């Protein structure tokens, strides 16, 4: 018996089946609601001091207050701008580099060991070195976010292209496809799932590195808001910023998921046939 959820249901089917959408939302909200109840329960019983784990109502009141005075919107806009610029640069450069490595085995064999070693080092470890080259202003944040985004995109794109079945490539030669036709009609469609996996991982890495660089060198943004709350021993500020980051990240990931289904009509048709 197969459990059918929104994860394996076509986008069109979700949009045209309101009861299914409601069922999916209820299913997805079960665990968050359980965690919220556990949080409220532990706060009421005083299992942890308020300075460590403030009650949900305190965090909500903080979010409302930050929204009303405009500071939450300002910090969120700054962080979104940084992620948008860094992610765009990292994703485009990662797709280009991954495509070259995937399509050119000779270059991949030469570069891959060094690249794999570099990819093991966390972005935070590169920050002191990057400061020497780009300074501590906005450029540092863009470079760190782009770097964090590019690594998983390159890895996924390279593997997705390199793992395309040789039989499919040979089929293109049999039909006398040009190299461009083989890439557009065979390699790219086969590698698309890996490409979007890399983009989603790159987006998650972009938000993580954003928080790191805003903790390190910034006076605005959601990461800075978390630092300010920690310095003031106001955990409600920290948790409020964390929740905003989580909601935005979840929303952007959902957009990428929708785009993946949109550009892969054959996948949607296969799901309709189930």
Mean pLDDT by 10 residues, the chain (274 residues): 48 54 72 81 76 83 89 90 93 92 86 86 80 81 90 91 78 74 77 86 88 77 85 85 88 82 58 48
The CATH homologous superfamily to which domain 56-268 belongs is: MetI-like (1.10.3720.10)
The pLDDT assigned to 1 comes to: 41
Domain edges within the chain: 56-268
Q: What is the pLDDT of residue 271?
A: 45
Q: What is the pLDDT of residue 3?
A: 47
Tokens 């499919």 sit at which residue?
Answer: 168
Place of tokens 């069922």: 23
pTM (2 d.p.):
0.77
Q: What pLDDT sits at residue 19?
A: 61
Q: In angstroms, rounded to a whole number, what is the distance separating the alpha carbons of residues 99 and 78?
A: 32
Please tell me the predicted confidence (pLDDT) of residue 38: 82
């Amino acid at each position: 018996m197969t459990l059918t959820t929104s994860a394996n249901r076509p986008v069109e089917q979700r949009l045209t089946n309101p009861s299914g959408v409601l069922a999916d939302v209820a299913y997805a909200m079960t665990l968050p609601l359980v965690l919220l109840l556990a949080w409220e329960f532990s706060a009421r019983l005083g299992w942890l001091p308020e300075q460590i784990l403030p009650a949900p109502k305190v965090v909500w009141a903080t979010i409302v207050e930050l929204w009303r005075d405009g500071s939450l919107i300002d910090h969120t806009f700054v962080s979104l701008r940084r992620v948008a610029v860094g992610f765009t640069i990292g994703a485009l450069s990662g797709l280009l580099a991954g495509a070259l490595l995937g399509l050119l085995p000779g270059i991949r064999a030469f570069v891959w060991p060094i690249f794999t070693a570099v990819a093991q080092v966390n972005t935070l470890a590169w920050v002191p070195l990057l400061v020497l080259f780009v300074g501590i202003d906005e450029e540092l944040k863009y470079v760190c976010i782009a770097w964090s985004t590019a690594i998983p995109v390159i890895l996924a794109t390279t593997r997705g292209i390199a793992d395309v079945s040789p039989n499919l490539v040979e089929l293109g030669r049999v039909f006398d496809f040009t190299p461009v036709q083989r890439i557009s009609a065979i390699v790219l469609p086969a590698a698309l799932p890996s490409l979007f996996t890399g983009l989603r991982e790159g987006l998650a890495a972009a938000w993580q590195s954003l928080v790191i660089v805003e903790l390190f060198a910034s006076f605005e943004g959601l990461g800075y808001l978390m630092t300010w709350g920690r310095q003031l021993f106001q955990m409600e500020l920290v948790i409020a910023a964390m929740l905003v980051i989580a909601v935005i990240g979840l929303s952007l990931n959902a957009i990428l998921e929708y785009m993946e289904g949109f550009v892969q009509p054959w996948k949607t048709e296969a799901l309709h046939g189930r």
